[in-house]
Amino acid sequence: MKILALEFSSRIRGVAAVEIGPGAQPAAVATVSDVGSRGTRAFQLITTVLKNAAWERENVDAIAVGLGPGSYHGIRVAIAIAQGWSMGKQVRLIGVSSAEALAAMLALKGQKEPFTVVIDAQRGEFYRADYTVESGVAREVGALRLAKAADIQECLKSGRNLFGPDLSGRLPGIREAFPAATTVGYLAARLPLETPGASLEPIYLRETSFVKAPPPRFA
């Protein structure tokens, strides 16, 4: 199966071509990344990856998308592209947590001690998820949740290993790490089910709190 993986939840926007054969481990055939902000040269990245992997776009069987948490803008770009693609060509869509993808990448890179993934949630809060590493694989031991800055500071003081994108400047001690498209593809390869296009959405952990209008005086 040929999986095109899109991971746009952080400043580093990545695309990977991941292939898995019967009974084989998934392997990255090609990968490319770019530093994005508001703009994302998504189709340039996709074209480059397909070319490097020697795949035609018709060869893509599935599209894996990093669902964050992270930049809503980047995540929605990836989701909308995947939805549109699957509408044009019948491809499977698979949503993957970007925090899990980051944890998987750290384990693959040799992280052995327990660690925490921290991602900026804006408004003075952070997303955090805790992991141990067993046989080279990251295992979630603390589910993804919102945390106050004080909790993260306390975590740092305790000597725990903290990793996350673009936080080392604000919270010294957190080691810089970005979720990668490759591990989004690896995790997607292990998931048996596809995600319906309409259900593909960024990971929303914070309750919406928009100001409601007073009830109308006259119906």
Interface ranges with other proteins (CB under 8 A):
38-44, 46, 57, 72-73, 76-77, 79-89, 91, 196-198, 200-201, 208, 210-214, 216-219
Q: Of 68 and 164, which CB lies nearer to other proteins in the complex structure?
A: 68
Q: How far is the CB of 118 from other proteins (least distance, A)?
A: 24
Q: Of 35 and 150, which CB lies nearer to other proteins in the complex structure?
A: 35
CA distance 212 to 144: 29
Instruction: List the 175-176 sheet strands across, edge first.
Output: 137-148, 125-134, 115-120, 161-164, 175-176
Q: Of 54 and 72, which CB lies nearer to other proteins in the complex structure?
A: 72
Q: How far is the CB of 101 from other proteins (least distance, A)?
A: 20
SS3 106: helix
SS3 12: strand
Q: Of 77 and 189, which CB lies nearer to other proteins in the complex structure?
A: 77
Q: Of 44 and 52, which CB lies nearer to other proteins in the complex structure?
A: 44
> Minimal CA–CA distance to 165: which of 8, 40, 16, 5?
8
User: E-assigned strands of 10-56?
Assistant: 12-19, 27-35
Q: Of 59 and 153, which CB lies nearer to other proteins in the complex structure?
A: 59
- Neighbour count for residue 97 (Cβ, 10 Å): 22
User: How far is C-alpha 67 from the geometric centre of its chain's CA atoms?
Assistant: 5
Q: How far is the CB of 112 from other proteins (least distance, A)?
A: 39
Q: How far is the CB of 171 from other proteins (least distance, A)?
A: 27
CA distance 82 to 3: 12
SS3 110: coil
Q: How far is the CB of 61 from other proteins (least distance, A)?
A: 13
According to DSSP, the β-strands at 92-96 and 62-66 are parallel
Q: How far is the CB of 39 from other proteins (least distance, A)?
A: 5
CA distance 43 to 71: 19
